[in-house]
Structures are given as structure tokens and as C-alpha cells.
């Protein structure tokens, strides 16, 4: 399987998961025009998208969805709670799923799982081709046993490292925003994400990419250090998704 990001962070998110002829776009947080531009930048034909899968209704995840889905007639997979927050203009394109049941979109199996976050019915995912598993976890305030079980034994992980606690504390965010971001329904800080990596089975891991980094309240150097400590690996192995460019295609391969 291949995966890539068009950009990650509070100003927009979109992730691509690809296997054979199927390519899913997880979230569509950039305008349709910007999404087309970013797809072009990684040499991907927008007409080859198979579907959009939505994690939750926050603007940084759905900004471009109405225009893009209608223009290319893309099915939108969303929980009932998320679907209820999307524009009525796309109601004919929506395929509802339950957070508790796996489903297939052409060549890719999608295993959703519920997460604590301040949205209606947020969900994150593990994608599989039956052989490799790619886990995605962003926009989550705290870990849960369900999350840790889902993310164990993944071949690739995209994991939120939103903020550094000290930088958030000492930064210029208003108090209510600091409280929201660091709260149990907010976003994972570096240490929380590192402890998830220590808890889960990472023996199959070929890729780790830190996602949804705050541009104000985090530093890539701290994230790399915390993740490398947790995985007992070299810091240079830690991938970092950028707000403006995401990251380019990565691939899971057979290890034996």
C-alpha cells in the first residue's frame, strides 16, 4: 500500500491511502482548488480518487469537501454524527458507516474506531489490503484501550503530535484555547503520543510519521526526539507531516 499527505495541521488536512486502483482521500480540509493543486504537486490525477473518508466535521478536515465531492462525484464515507454536520448539497453522496464495524471500499479494508475529541461522532482508522495495516490517529484528546488495540501491529503509523505541553502553557493562546487543546477531548501532546508508541506493538512498523503538529506550540525537533526515544530508534527515521506540503508517497513492503 502507498500513502501520502497533502498537508497536516490546524490549517487543513488531507491524507491519501492507495492500493491497486483504489485511492482514498481521508479528509478534505483544503479548498477544492487547493486540493487539486496539491494533488498535482504529488503527480496524482484527481480523477483517480475513489472516495473521501471523513474523520470528523471540524473545518480543517472538511473545508473543500462539498465542492470537490460534487465536482468529481466522489462518495463520502462518514459516521451518522459527522454526516449530519455536512452540507445538504452532498447528502446524495454520503455512505454512512459505524465506528465499530470494518467495511471495504474497493481494494481497501477500512477499520474505523471511535476516539475522544470534541466533535459529534469522530472516528480514526486503520487501512488494510489484507497484508499490511496503515494506522491514522489525529484529533484525539487521550488514548483509550480501543485505540491502542487498533494501532497495534501496524506496518505504518501516522500519529498526532499536536503540542509540547510547556510551549502551549507558556505560549500566547488564550486560556480557553489552551484548555481545549490540552483537554481530554482535544489533541495529543508529544508525551502522550510517545507513550502510545511505547504501549502498542510496533514490531512490524516500517513507517512512523508525526501528524497535526501545532505551528505555534510545537517544534519538529522535540517531536523527533520524543518519538525516537519511545521507539528506541534514530531520530532521522521519524517522519514529520508538514502543514504546507504534508509528505510525499511512502510505501509498505514485504519484509520477508
Q: Which residues bind Zn ion (CB under 5 A)?
A: 58, 60, 139
Nearest CB to Zn ion, comparing residues 132 and 246 = 246
Nearest CB to Zn ion, comparing residues 120 and 204 = 120
Nearest CB to Zn ion, comparing residues 9 and 22 = 9
Nearest CB to Zn ion, comparing residues 27 and 155 = 27
C-beta of 139: minimal distance to Zn ion in Å? 4
Distance CA 119, CA 62 (A): 13
C-beta of 68: minimal distance to Zn ion in Å? 18
Nearest CB to Zn ion, comparing residues 3 and 202 = 3
* Contact present, 242 and 220 (Cβ < 8 Å): no
C-beta of 12: minimal distance to Zn ion in Å? 9
C-beta of 136: minimal distance to Zn ion in Å? 12
C-beta of 171: minimal distance to Zn ion in Å? 18
Amino acid at each position: 500500500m502507498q500513502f501520502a499527505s497533502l498537508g497536516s495541521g490546524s490549517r487543513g488536512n488531507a491524507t491519501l491511502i492507495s492500493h491497486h486502483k483504489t485511492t482514498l482521500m481521508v479528509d478534505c480540509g483544503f479548498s477544492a482548488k487547493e486540493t487539486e493543486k496539491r494533488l498535482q504537486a504529488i503527480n496524482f490525477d484527481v480523477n483517480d480518487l475513489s472516495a473521501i473518508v471523513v474523520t470528523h466535521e471540524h473545518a480543517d478536515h472538511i473545508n473543500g469537501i462539498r465542492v470537490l465531492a460534487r465536482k468529481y462525484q466522489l462518495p463520502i464515507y462518514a459516521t451518522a454524527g459527522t454526516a449530519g454536520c455536512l452540507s445538504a448539497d452532498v447528502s446524495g453522496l454520503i455512505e454512512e458507516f459505524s465506528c465499530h464495524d470494518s467495511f471495504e471500499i474497493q481494494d481497501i479494508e477500512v477499520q474505523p474506531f471511535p476516539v475522544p475529541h470534541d466533535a459529534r461522532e469522530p472516528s480514526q482508522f486503520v487501512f488494510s489490503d489484507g497484508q499490511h495495516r496503515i494506522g491514522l490517529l489525529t484529533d484525539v484528546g487521550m488514548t483509550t484501550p480501543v485505540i491502542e488495540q487498533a494501532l497495534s501491529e501496524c506496518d505504518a503509523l501516522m500519529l498526532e503530535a499536536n503540542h509540547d505541553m510547556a510551549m502551549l502553557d507558556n505560549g500566547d493562546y488564550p486560556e480557553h484555547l489552551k484548555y481545549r487543546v490540552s483537554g481530554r477531548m482535544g489533541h495529543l501532546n508529544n508525551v502522550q503520543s510517545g507513550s502510545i508508541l511505547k504501549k502498542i506493538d510496533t514490531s512490524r512498523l516500517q513507517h512512523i510519521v508525526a501528524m497535526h503538529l501545532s505551528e505555534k506550540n510545537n517544534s519538529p525537533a522535540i517531536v523527533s526526539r520524543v518519538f525516537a526515544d519511545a521507539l528506541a530508534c534514530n531520530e532521522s527515521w521519524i517522519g514529520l507531516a508538514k502543514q504546507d506540503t504534508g509528505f510525499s508517497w511512502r510505501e509498505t513492503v514485504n519484509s520477508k
